Amino acid sequence: MKNTTVLLSTKVLRAFSVGFISIVLPLYLSSLGFSKLEVGLVFTLIIATSATFTMFSHRFAHFIGRRNSLMMFSFITAISSLIMFFTENAIVFVIFTLLSLISVNGTDIGPTFSLENAAFSDSAKGKNPKYFSIYNVFGGIAIAAGSLSVSLPDVYIKDFFLVLFSLSLLSGLLYLMLKGEKKETATKRIAIPEIDRKKINRLAELFSIDSFGGGFTLQAMIAYFFFIRFGLTESYLGYIFFFANVLVISSYFFSYHLSKKIGLVNTMVFTHLPSNVFLILIAFSPTAIIAVIFYLLRMSLAEMDVPPRQAYTMMVIRKRYRNKAAATTTAARMYTQSISPVISGQLMQVVSNGSPFLFGGSLKIIYDLLLFKSFRKIKTVSR
């Protein structure tokens, strides 16, 4: 089996779990009696823990190999999710939720994603954005299917933690089939030239602003918002997020063709900015129908920047520094995003349920403008 096939397979398995976990987890925490602030705090700690693993993921890759690191992270998730399924203790559940490295923002992010993204960049011919679009389409289909699975009748919420265990275990075994990864083992720490380091740091700074804004409206927090504001159950939420992800999948195809016409950075900015206007409008929606319409409009554009962003981050940095670039930018996004959920929970509790959408959308618009100013003239590199 080719590396690209292995990585697409593990992407699908992991993305399917992302689809259901971001809906199931806030509802399960609510059933345990957690307040809005406490739910936000748990999400903050989940992201911070995953960000810490992500920050050091490139070092794991250099010392024990990228394949072994990917296997290790998958097995950590498998073991943690199994304990989450069996435990009846809320504290134990939260502890292993933090260690599970799960994504609560409805998108695939974390230490496994960071290393897999770099591996996929190396395996895809020409490092063409087309391959990242295909990679994300597969992931988007899986996330949509995972979201829809929550709407299945007669399925207990906690059973999804057992599904997470099975998918993570299978992913870890699939990574065994990766070839040519031994070259990553036991390499010395790489000194990154200033020109690459500046690019990495600037990208990390900008992605941090975007993710800080995004942390106010994680998919898990949006599911929680629809639940407490409009009383929508997991069955309705499953359908909403399914259709949202179908729109995301469709947008990836347009993203690729658009990036060919107007460039990677322009595609990132010109699609992301209007999506954040729709995000802000959710805060002022008087009914569930209007809020859902604005949310779906937002999702039709919000992820169009993902394939060009992934491709640009890899292509603007020379090959030997891409593990570091992927780890640094991903960890930066996650650390800043980890701050927002607890603030979001406090805003929902003290100000209004919709206030996080206003704060988050405004910050993400600022990111769009700064990204355009900083990188619209910087060219990609071939090696």
Instruction: Compute the 3-state secondary structure of the chain and give helix, strand, coil in percent, each to the nearest 5.
Output: 80, 0, 20
For the whole prediction, is pTM greater than 0.75? yes
Per-residue pLDDT of 296-354, as tens digits, reads 999 999 888 877 887 777 777 777 676 677 777 777 777 888 888 999 989 998 888 88
Distances (CA, A) of 28 to 15, 161, 233: 20, 11, 12
Higher-pLDDT residue of 206 and 365 is 365
| Structure confidence at residue 191 (pLDDT) | 64
| Structure confidence at residue 189 (pLDDT) | 56
Residue 145 has pLDDT above 50, yes or no: yes
* CA nearest neighbour of 342 among 237, 212, 209: 212
Q: What mean pLDDT is predicted for residues 186-191?
A: 54
The residues, ordered by sequence, that sit 6+ positions from 163 with a Cβ below 8 Å of its Cβ are 17, 20
Q: According to DSSP H, which parts of 175-305 are helical?
A: 194-214, 219-230, 234-262, 264-282, 288-302
Domains of the chain from N-terminus onward: 3-375 (1.20.1250.20)
Cα–Cα distance, 195 to 321 (Å, whole number): 11
| Structure confidence at residue 380 (pLDDT) | 58
| Structure confidence at residue 124 (pLDDT) | 55
| Structure confidence at residue 186 (pLDDT) | 44
* Backbone φ and ψ of 100, nearest 5°: -75, -15
**What percentage of the chain reaches a pLDDT higher than 90?**
42
Amino acid at 348: M
Residue 85 CA, distance from chain mean position: 23
From the CB of residue 156, how many other CB atoms can be counted at a distance below 10 Å? 7
